[in-house]
Structures are given as C-alpha cells and as structure tokens.
C-alpha cells in the first residue's frame, strides 16, 4: 500500500485536503497537508472558482487536464456536477483548439502511443500499460480530427476527451479506459515544421504497411484485453469504412463518426417530428457533405425507414446527397464506394437547384465548411416547409454550417435547429430558443456500458437502433417546448443507464452476450457505474 507523499502524487488515490484525520494517520500524511479537512463539495467549489477566473477556454481546459492528473476523483466530481458547463471545455468545441495546441500544452501522458517503429511488437509494448482489465479503448490515427483535418499525434486529445465522457456520463471506471494514438505520421507540413511537435516526424504511413499496423494493433488488443470494446475515432472516411467493414462482425468495435453520429442524428430527426407533425416515414432528407458522418446517418435511416414499412429501394430514395461537386447521381465519375448506394437517377445539379427540385423536409450538414447554410438556403427551406428541420452538425463550433441565431432569424423563428457543437440560447421576437446539441455523448457511453455489462461479442446494428429509440423516447415535452431535440445534459447519466440496459438486453436476446443475464439488469447496470461522489462502487463481477 502506498503511503505518504506517494499517495498525494498518485492521481488515482489523491483526495488532497479531503483525507480525514484517521486516513492521514494510516497513510502517513501528517504534516503533508494543511490542517483543515475539507469536504469534496468544498473542493469542487474551489475548482469552479478557479476555473471561472481563467480568461479563455483553453486555459480552462489546461486547468481541468491538470486536475485530472492530480486528483481523478475530484475531476470527475466536478464534471458530473457541472456537466453543462464542463463538457464544452473537455470536449467540443474546446478540444479542437486543445488538439491544435496539444504539443505545446502537453504536461503528462494520459494514453498509449503506437508508431511504425513498433511494428511486430505491439502486443509486447501494450504490456507497459499499468492496467490490465481494459474494457473501453478509443483509438485514432489523427487524420481527420473533427472538422480540422490531419493533426497527427496532436489528435490524442480526442481519445482522452472521449474516455473522460465515458466515465463522467456513463460511469465507466477510469482504470478500465485506454486512449490510443496510432501515430503513423502526418501530411500536415505546418505540424511537421513545428519544433515542439511530439509526434512521429514523418509523412503518413500509407498502403499495406498502414493497414498491417492497424491490424496488428486490433489483434494485439484481442490477446491482451479480450473484453475490450474498440471505438474507432476520427479516421479518414475511406479508412473508417474499411476498418468498420473488416472488423464489425468479428471484433467488439464500432466507429463513432459513422455509427454514433448516426444514432444521435436519427434520434434528433425522430424528435423533430413531434414539432413538425410529419410522420417519420414521410420525410425526405438531404445531406450536404457525403463523408463518413453523413453516410453513417443515412445508413441507419434506411434501416429505420424499412422498419416503418418502406421497401429498401423506397428508403434509399428518401435520402439525397450533395458534395463539393454537386448532387450525387447515378453515373457520376469517381464516387466513393460508400456513396454509390445513394447515387440515384437524376439530372446533375448544384445545391440551391437541388433544394428546389427535391424539396427536402430535413437538411443535414456534415461538411466541415462554415457558412454553407447561408440566408438563401434557410429561406428556401422555410419557403418549402412550415417548420424546416436544420441540422448543422460540423464540429467544432467555428465549422458549423450556420449558427443557431442565423437559423432562427432567417427562418423567422420557424426552424427546428440542432448542431454538433453547443450554441447559447437565442431570443427572437420575444421567444426564447435553447437548441440542443446533437452530441454523440448521448449514445456512445451508454453503448459501451451495455457492452461491458453483457460482455457482448460484437456491437450489432440493432443495438444502435435501440440506443436511438431510447434517446428519442427520453426527450421530454419540456425539451421540445424550448426548441431542443435532446434532453438536457444534466439527465445524461440517467440516459446512459437507460441506453446501457436496452443495449445489454438486446445482447442477451440475440445471443451475443458472453455472460449470464443478471436477474435485475437495471440494478446490475446501476451498481457497476462509477460515482465520483462515492468512489468505486461495489459493482457486479463482469
């Protein structure tokens, strides 16, 4: 057992001035701490006061990052109690700037780095990670970080942030989380020229050598951490689809950009029908942007439309895509494989012309290009729909297709709006709108928690549809009344619990679980969840 200063230097043990007199005696902390024994609540208030004195969000990010190193339990107590204020600081939009500056603000390592130099020994070096019971891994290669592009090893801020959300919003135990950076270089010359850059200082590994390295990592995880769920994050679209198709049926994994984004967006579309009065099966949807996020949403919508009674062909023809070259139509040259199933028979045309021709009820942006939903676009959608549904999903906030204020103003207050990053409330003609954020954290933490409880073999498409419906059902009338298609973040732990129960139930129903079903599944999920106000709960044996 650690004692004395070693306890205070271990972020997983350190509770600082919260240690009681008896604990100080047993642990040899006398003289190492000030006299007063403070409560955890007092410590939370001290942290929040310091946080609010900071002049910029990146400074707040650095403070919270350091707190996580210093006292893990206090960090999560702060996040859980102040989730609406803290989530934008530890994830979008602030994490975008944190990734850009990662090598400049680096303090202490929080994750695992794999480079081309490690080929052939990844399983061996994974043994250097101190924890052995890993259940959730978030991995990126840094090639397509948010809407910011290739940031190389600086993209490690994404797995770190995602796993903090796993713990804060779904109670995944911190020691069971592992952030991984597949640092295979970067083609961003500005980053390579940065003398403080901490990553592999070469151009990106490509071709067979790249795919072999990723496969070695995946297979090494199966050996070292056979119960671990791998979440692929921010890979380029072709690679994201390649790995999803390769591993989804035989490895416990999913791609958050494709599947997580899809579940959250579809839940928002379901909720929007409570405002527009349109039946989901009657919707026509247009996507601006045809990358992994947009096509992932469409793929899940196809399944949802079919469950509503549409044929597969009818479902596909409710969904239309535009990219930088215009409408994706049959016969267009150089279409990516994931776009081909959405290439319908139609004349080629550009965005505004396509809006006129196809008259969508729902417009979803996943472009990474700010301002693409301009005044003319919003006015056109408003002319065709009493309540136009506008999803500006690109992250961070600076990349959103339009702002909340623009959507409400240009639609004369009629838009049903949501975004990928948070926007402040908007008052238009005396009415207050509080748009919800279509944050993947509404779904992926609960899916991970359900996977842990059921020890499921894979994550099935049915699990994502169930998670989607669970999220949509938890949107209350008070949320709808304030213009939000999602619950408040203050409800997110309850939501994650509900998603986990639903996902685990599907695993047991479908025969994908590798453990026996608990008699009381809801209690089993609740008992597992880490509560920073109580420390690690007793939990069930999983």
Residues marked active site are found at 91, 162
In contact, 371 and 342? CB cutoff 8 Å? no
In contact, 493 and 169? CB cutoff 8 Å? yes
Buried b (16+ CB within 10 A) or exposed e, 332-354: eeebeebbeebbbebeebebeeb
Closest CA to 494 of 478, 475, 477, 513: 475
- Taken in order 37, 38, 40, 46, the sign of the CA dihedral is negative
Neighbours of 317 (CB within 10 A): 16
Ranges of H-type helices in 121-255: 122-126, 157-170, 189-192, 207-224, 237-247
Collapsed DSSP state (helix, strand, coil) of residue 455? coil
507 contacts: CB under 8 Å, gap ≥ 6: 450, 451, 454, 456, 463, 513
Bridge partner list, 182: 114
Buried b (16+ CB within 10 A) or exposed e, 374-387: eeebbebbbeebeb
Bridge partner list, 433: 426
Please name the residue that has the structure tokens 């729902």: 362
Q: How many CA atoms lie within 13 A of 186 on its CB side?
A: 26
Neighbours of 512 (CB within 10 A): 20
C-alpha span between 180 and 183 (Å, rounded) = 9
Collapsed DSSP state (helix, strand, coil) of residue 274? helix
Closest CA to 495 of 440, 453, 454: 440
């Amino acid at each position: 057992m650690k004692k004395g200063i070693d306890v205070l230097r271990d972020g997983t043990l350190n509770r600082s001035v919260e240690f009681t007199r008896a604990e100080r005696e047993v642990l040899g902390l006398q003289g190492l701490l000030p006299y007063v024994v403070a409560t955890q609540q007092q410590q939370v208030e001290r942290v929040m006061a310091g946080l609010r004195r900071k002049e910029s969000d990146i400074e707040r990010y650095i403070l919270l990052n350091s707190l996580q190193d210093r006292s893990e339990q206090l960090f999560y107590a702060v996040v859980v109690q102040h989730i609406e204020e803290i989530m934008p600081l530890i994830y979008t939009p602030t994490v975008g700037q944190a990734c850009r500056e990662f090598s400049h603000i680096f303090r202490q390592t929080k994750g695992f780095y794999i480079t081309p130099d490690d080929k052939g020994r990844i399983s061996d070096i994974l043994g250097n990670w101190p924890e052995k019971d890993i259940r959730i891994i978030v991995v990126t290669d840094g090639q397509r970080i948010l809407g910011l592009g290739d940031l190389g090893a600086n993209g490690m801020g994404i797995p770190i942030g995602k796993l903090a959300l796993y713990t804060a919003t779904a109670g995944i135990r911190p020691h069971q989380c592992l952030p991984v950076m597949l640092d295979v270089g970067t083609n961003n010359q500005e980053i390579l020229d940065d003398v403080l850059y901490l990553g592999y200082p070469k151009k990106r590994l490509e071709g067979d050598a790249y795919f072999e390295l990723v496969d070695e990592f995946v297979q090494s995880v199966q050996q070292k951490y056979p119960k671990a769920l791998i979440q692929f994050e921010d890979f380029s679209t072709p690679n994201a689809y390649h790995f999803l198709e390769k591993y989804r049926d035989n490895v416990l994994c999913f791609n958050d950009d494709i599947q997580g984004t899809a579940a959250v967006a579809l839940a928002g579309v379901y909720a929007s029908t409570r405002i527009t009065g349109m039946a989901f099966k009657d919707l026509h949807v247009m996507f601006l942007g045809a990358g992994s996020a947009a096509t992932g949403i469409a793929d899940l919508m196809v399944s949802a439309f079919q469950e509503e009674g549409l044929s597969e062909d009818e479902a596909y023809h409710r969904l239309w895509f535009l990219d930088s070259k215009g409408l994706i139509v049959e016969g267009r040259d150089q279409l990516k494989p994931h776009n081909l199933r959405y290439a319908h028979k139609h004349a080629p045309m550009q965005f505004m012309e396509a809006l006129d021709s196809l008259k969508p009820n729902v417009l979803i942006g996943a472009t990474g290009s700010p301002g693409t939903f301009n005044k003319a676009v919003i006015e056109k959608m408003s002319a065709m729909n009493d309540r136009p549904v506008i999803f500006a999903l690109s992250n961070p906030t600076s990349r959103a297709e339009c702002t909340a204020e623009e959507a409400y103003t240009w639609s004369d207050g009629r838009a049903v709006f949501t975004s990928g990053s948070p926007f402040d409330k908007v008052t238009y003609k005396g009415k207050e709108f509080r748009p919800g954020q279509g944050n993947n954290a509404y779904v992926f933490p609960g899916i991970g928690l359900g996977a842990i409880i059921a020890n499921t073999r894979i994550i099935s498409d049915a699990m994502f549809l169930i998670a989607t419906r669970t999220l949509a059902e938890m949107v209350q009338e008070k949320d709808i009344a304030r213009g939000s298609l999602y619950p408040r973040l203050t409800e997110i732990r309850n939501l994650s619990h509900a998603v986990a129960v639903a996902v685990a139930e599907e695993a047991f129903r479908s025969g994908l679980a590798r453990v026996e079903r608990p008699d009381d599944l809801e209690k089993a999920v609740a008992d597992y969840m880490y509560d920073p106000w109580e420390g690690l709960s007793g939990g069930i044996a999983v």
